[in-house]
Amino acid sequence: MKRTKITDLLKSDACGADVDVCGWVRTRRGSKQVTFIALNDGTTIHNLQVVADIEKLGEENLKQVTTGSCIRVSGKLVPSQGQGQHVEVQADRIELLGAADPNSYPLQKKGHSLEFLREIAHLRPRTNTFGAVFRIRHHMAMAIHTFFHQKGFFYFHTPIITASDAEGAGQMFQVTTQDLKQVKKDEDGSVNYDDDFFGKQASLTVSGQLEGELAAMGLGAIYTFGPTFRAENSNTPRHLAEFWMIEPEVAFNEIEENMNLAEEFIKYCVQWALDHCRDDIQFLNDMFDKGLINRLESVLTDDFVRLAYTEGVRILEDAVAKGHQFEFPVYWGADLASEHERYLVEEHFKRPVILTDYPKEIKAFYMKQNEDGKTVRAMDVLFPKIGEIIGGSEREADYDKLLQRIEELHIPMKDMWWYLDTRKFGTCPHAGFGLGFERLLLFVTGMSNIRDVMPFPRTPKNAEF
Amino acid sequence: MKRTKITDLLKSDACGADVDVCGWVRTRRGSKQVTFIALNDGTTIHNLQVVADIEKLGEENLKQVTTGSCIRVSGKLVPSQGQGQHVEVQADRIELLGAADPNSYPLQKKGHSLEFLREIAHLRPRTNTFGAVFRIRHHMAMAIHTFFHQKGFFYFHTPIITASDAEGAGQMFQVTTQDLKQVKKDEDGSVNYDDDFFGKQASLTVSGQLEGELAAMGLGAIYTFGPTFRAENSNTPRHLAEFWMIEPEVAFNEIEENMNLAEEFIKYCVQWALDHCRDDIQFLNDMFDKGLINRLESVLTDDFVRLAYTEGVRILEDAVAKGHQFEFPVYWGADLASEHERYLVEEHFKRPVILTDYPKEIKAFYMKQNEDGKTVRAMDVLFPKIGEIIGGSEREADYDKLLQRIEELHIPMKDMWWYLDTRKFGTCPHAGFGLGFERLLLFVTGMSNIRDVMPFPRTPKNAEF
């Protein structure tokens, strides 16, 4: 008989039907006569209750049906007498697919710390928490693809291995096929890359934006969704060495349309989560973050505040003048810290804020320069609990201004000729932004450590699994 | 006024309406009185015809409206008198957004070789061919996500950087933060990784399957869709150093259900292409591969042949006996070459073939061993023109058998403990497969070089852009 998924069974009204169901045993309890098995197959946060008559099925047969074991159950779907479910399965037959020795299986009934679960990341998809998180992770990816697809954007794969480090967004991992025991060198001691795979120094990308711009200026509107890398030695709950980014880029969009797109996009994702992942979010709300659902609903209702950086700094300076204490100093020209961003969002406006027109010195070379000569058309979307969740800008479309900025910052022209070509040939206004996928997931799941929303996190000294 | 996309305009019946449209000039022709501009904005293979009265708009204004330039046109949508389109735009105003100097812009009107276009991969999204290919690329990605989402699979991100090389699928790129000028070494000359980012040797993944299995044995059914890497020095039209793979993995599926899934999956993708990318496929059919549409339609109609490797070899040996010449020898135990696969598909059966039960020596360690002691439950899907497009198997679920194979092949246990744990704790039958995304695109676009379906291909000595 064909197996039915537990998520479908729990919604079924076909009481009396014969069913076949597989899954992993979460708990087992009962008496000498009857045993109750909570079975989960990963399709939902909810377990199916399997009721087994011990005499009928044989005590010996049930001996290895312990927490973590995998079984196939054939039986009848019946209305449940117990609380918490409206149907259950009365087992006619239980087949043990795989045992899990109670003395060595690490996921026993008792609760486990998130720290402990990180050490057994290969097993944590079997827990309630990570089942919920990874189902939500899937749904957020699907929301993203659906959003852009419906708007006529094209998903574009920018390269992972790159020979340019022009974006300057952070330290990079080097990619090589040289034997590190005997790296080939020139007479002056510099590394000789002639025999390396790419014939030159190559690294892992920190952003697909520059290549995304190339595509947008031919295909019109594109988005990337791929892994990016930072070799920064940051052991914080907010940083990963390997993470996924979404970067839309749109020809003919200016900063205003870019802000509209970002706001619509992130509201669409949050709405999708509430519509499609309600049970999982409810579980995480109850277990980890009682304010989660409220926070998700609140970002949907209000328009985001749109505010110039200069105004934002004024508000923060006012707060300091009135006695609010920040760890880091606030002044015009400073890169805002998470505490500043969260003050604006959580204390001052009590809703998300899009901060624009930052000083050009603290932003990337490719951002469109304003006429004041001091600021650029950057836009950061600031969120409660998270701080910056999206960073973007209108891009500098003018060849001469872009070239000047590249020269000021001493970015090597060998890495830039192709990027400049888009401004040389048929340039146009365009804009885009980047969303860190795991930042979005922190917001949507309410988890507080980024290692808990990435299946196998890579951090300093950690590349296990 | 809000800009309208050309794909929408061309479908519009709103003749007489004022419209605003942006794009890049593909060609310009005409007389002294009137000029015809073929405008493309990347949203469709078709150009919009813009008709400009030279006296009205001013010759000086139109001077820089040359191939490759970017313009904004305001005008009226009218029925077209000319052939090839049913509407066109009569321009009231043309604004030059970006010029493209005819003396240096590389994409002039004349046709360009695909080889030449690879050298200017940053501009090729502006050509008909690559516009079509990259729109199809988007659609195939969307088809894949939609297919698995509708079936209740969860998209799962397996790690890109890995410290294990257990899959043994090919040579790997090493990832390091060491200064290659002075790699740290121990006294015995071996590399000391203590100060390297991960504290040990790390590489780019060749497959997400092993980690995908971990997820499937908790979440039930997952799929990956991410970049994978091979550092093989293969300069062929079929190999990339960086490519994207899709790897579904399903708990409780056995080989038969795995074959069903693979066949349904690939037919779904091809059907999606025909439904959503008809114009682009028609263009590629006419320009590059007159058999393309026929080939796409043909794989939809027939059931795929399902055949044991042993039978397949017998057919090939028969063919040799009857005088057919292959470059590589055919015998039981040989890894089939593309020519053999294509003979079975194109000559013998004239439809796709799923070949199963390969000799264990030529397949990976994790495949389920058959009772004959000689073969494993592998399945390769073989396609016309492409050869192998999907490779998969039922996985060995038995701890002892898997361990034995790992030991026979001397795979280091330090890389395998977490993988073996899934067989130790609640093991179950499961199966999956891998599809090379670019192989699928070769099939669906009819392009013959894999460098032409990847935006910025990475190959030996080539990591430009």
**Chain B nearest CA to A313, separation (Å):** 34
Q: Nearest residue of B to residue A136 by CA position?
A: B154
Burial B80-95 (b: 16+ CB within 10 A, else e): beeeebebbbbbeebe
Tens of pLDDT along A245-283? 999 999 999 999 999 999 999 999 999 999 999 999 999
3-state secondary structure of A70: strand
| Contact: B155, A142; criterion CB under 8 Å | yes
Q: Which of B72, B162, B425 to mutate to test the interface with A (most CBs of A within 10 A)?
A: B425
pLDDT at B123: 97
Using a CB-CB cut-off of 8 Å, the residues of chain B touching A141 are: 145, 155
Q: Across the interface, do A152 and B7 touch by the CB < 8 Å criterion? A: yes
Give me the CATH code for the B124-303+350-450 domain, please.
Answer: 3.30.930.10
Task: For B215, name the nearest residue in chain A, comparing CA atoms only.
Answer: A125
Weakest-pLDDT range from A436-445, B239-248, B369-378, B412-421: B412-421
Residue B210: closest CA among B450, B406, B12: B406
Rounded to whole angstroms, the Cα distance separating B376 from B368 reads 5
CB within 8 Å: A123 and B425: yes
CA angle, corner B38, sides to B34 and B42, nearest 5? 155
Tokens (6 digits) for B78: 């009218």
Nearest one of B5, B182, B9 to B80, comparing CA atoms: B9
Count Cβ–Cβ pairs < 8 Å, chain A vs chain B. Answer: 333
Residue-wise pLDDT for B95-148, tens only, equals 999 999 999 999 986 789 999 999 999 999 999 999 999 999 999 999 999 999
Q: What is the pLDDT of residue A166?
A: 62
Helices (H) and strands (E) in chain B, counts: 14, 16
CA A438 to chain B, closest CA, distance in angstroms equals 11
At position A99, the amino acid (one-letter code) is A
Q: Report, as an integer, the average pLDDT of B271-299.
A: 97
Instruction: Give the per-residue pLDDT at B167.
Output: 60
Choose among B74, B66, B62: nearest CA to B22: B74
Strands B221-229 and B154-155, by their bridges, are parallel
The answer to whether the Cα torsion of B170, B176, B182, B184 is positive or negative is negative
If you average pLDDT over every residue of chain B, what do you get? 96
Q: What is the distance in angstroms between the Cα of B354 and the nearest Cα belonging to chain A?
A: 23
Q: In this predicted model, what pLDDT tens digit does every residue of A96-127 receive, in sequence order? A: 999 999 999 999 867 899 999 999 999 999 99
DSSP string, B106-155: S--SS---HHHHHHTTTTGGGSHHHHHHHHHHHHHHHHHHHHHHHTT-EE
Place of tokens 């090589």: A176
Q: Which residues pair with B392 in a beta bridge?
A: B379, B433
With an 8 Å Cβ cutoff, are A122 and B214 in contact?
yes
Residues from chain A that touch B125, judged by Cβ atoms under 8 A, are 214-215, 217-219
Give which of B463, B419, B398, B455 is closest to B207, Cα–Cα. B419
From chain B, the residues in CB contact with A415 under 8 A are none
Q: Is the pLDDT of residue A128 over 70?
A: yes
| Burial classification of residue B200, based on how many CB atoms lie within 10 Å of its CB (0-12 exposed, 13-18 middle, 19 or more buried) | middle
- Say if the Cβ atoms of A217 and B152 lie within 8 Å: no
Handedness of CA A201, A204, A206, A211 (dihedral sign): positive
Residue A438: both structure tokens together: 């795991």
Instruction: Name the residue among B25, B42, B142 with its Cβ closest to that of A219.
Output: B42
Chain B residues whose beta carbon lies within 8 Å of the beta carbon of residue A215: 125, 134, 455
Cβ B217–A126 below 8 Å, yes or no? yes
Q: Is A420 exposed, middle or buried (0-12, 13-18, 19+ CB in 10 A)?
A: middle
Least confidently predicted of B44-58, B164-178, B193-207, B294-308: B164-178
- The stretches of A5-127 forming alpha helices (DSSP H) are 6-11, 54-57, 59-62, 114-119
Instruction: State what percent of residues in chain B have pLDDT above 70.
Output: 98
- Which is more confident, A13 or A320? A320
**In terms of pTM, does the model score above 0.90?**
yes
Contact between A220 and B42 using a beta-carbon 8 Å cutoff: yes
Closest CA to B293 of B327, B270, B318: B270
Q: What share of chain A is helix, strand, coil (3-state, %, to 5)?
A: 35, 25, 40
Q: Are strands A375-383 and A353-359 parallel, antiparallel or unpaired?
A: antiparallel
With bands split at pLDDT 50, 70 and 90, how would you rate the model's confidence at A237?
very high
What are the pLDDT digits (tens) for A353-405?
999 999 999 999 999 999 999 999 999 999 999 999 999 999 999 999 999 99
Neighbouring CB atoms inside 10 A of B159's CB total 24
Distance (Å, whole) CA A306 – CA A153: 25
List, in sequence order, every beta strand (DSSP E) within B252-370. Answer: 305-308, 353-359
3-state secondary structure of B384: coil
Which of B365, B146, B179 is CA-nearest to residue B275? B146
Residue of chain B nearest A152, judged by CA positions: B43
> Which long-range CB contacts under 8 A does B308-315 form with residues at least 24 apart?
B308/B355, B308/B356, B308/B357, B308/B375, B309/B355, B309/B356, B309/B357, B309/B358, B309/B359, B309/B375, B309/B378, B310/B357, B310/B375, B312/B336, B312/B340, B312/B344, B312/B353, B312/B355, B315/B344, B315/B348
> What CA dihedral angle connects A161, A164, A170 and A174, to 10 degrees?
50
**Residue numbers in A near B95 (CB within 8 A):** none
pLDDT reading at B84 higher than 90: no
**Domain boundaries of chain A, sorted by first residue:** 4-96, 124-303+350-450
Q: What pLDDT score was predicted for residue B164?
A: 82
pLDDT at B209 over 70: yes
CB-nearest partner of B241 from A104, A197, A455: A197
CA distance to partner chain A, nearest, from residue B339 (Å): 29
DSSP code at position B79: E
Contacts of B43 in chain A (CB under 8 A): 152, 219-220
| Mean pLDDT of the B337-359 span | 97
Distance from A416 to chain B by nearest Cα, in Å?
9
Q: Could you tell me if B311 and B348 are in contact, meaning their C-beta atoms sit under 8 angstroms apart?
A: no
Cβ proximity of A348 and A314 under 8 Å: no
From the CA of B110, how many Å to the nearest CA of chain A? 17
Cβ <8 Å between B215 and A137: no
Structure token pair of residue A264:
């619509």
Burial class of A27 by CB neighbour count within 10 A (0 to 12, 13 to 18, 19+): middle
- Bridge partners of B203, per DSSP, are B162, B174
Class of domain B4-96: mainly beta
- Do β-strands B430-436 and B242-251 pair in parallel, antiparallel, or remain unpaired? antiparallel
Cβ-Cβ contacts under 8 Å, A220 against chain B: 5, 41-43
Tell me the backbone φ, ψ of residue B19, rounded to 5 degrees. Answer: -135, 160
At residue B101, the pLDDT reads 97
Average pLDDT over residues B347-360: 98
**Tokens 């000029």 appear where?**
B35
A242-256, A415-429, B297-311, B408-422: segment of lowest average pLDDT:
B408-422
- Nearest by CB to residue A181, choosing from B191, B229, B454, is B191
Rounded to 10°, the helix B278-287/B255-276 angle is 90
User: Average of pLDDT values for B451-464?
Assistant: 97
Does A122 contact B419 at a Cβ distance shorter than 8 Å? yes
CB contact under 8 A, A422 and B135: no
- Residue B318: predicted pLDDT: 98
Q: Are B276 and A27 in contact (CB under 8 A)?
A: no
Report the candidate in B184, B203, B195 with the shortest Cα–Cα distance to residue A233. Answer: B195
> In chain B, helix, strand, coil percent, each to 5?
35, 25, 40
pLDDT at A1 over 90: no
Distances (CA, A) of B272 to B96, B136, B145, B286: 38, 10, 12, 20
Q: What is the ipTM of this complex?
A: 0.97
The pLDDT value recorded for residue B166 is 62
Contact B22 A252 (CB under 8 A): yes
pLDDT at B395 over 80: yes
Please name the member of A191, A241, A429 whose beta carbon is closest to the beta carbon of B181.
A191
Token pair for residue A268? 């669409």
In angstroms, how far is the first alpha carbon of chain A from the final one?
Answer: 36
The shortest C-alpha distance from B69 to chain A (Å) reads 4
Question: Mean pLDDT in chain A?
Answer: 96
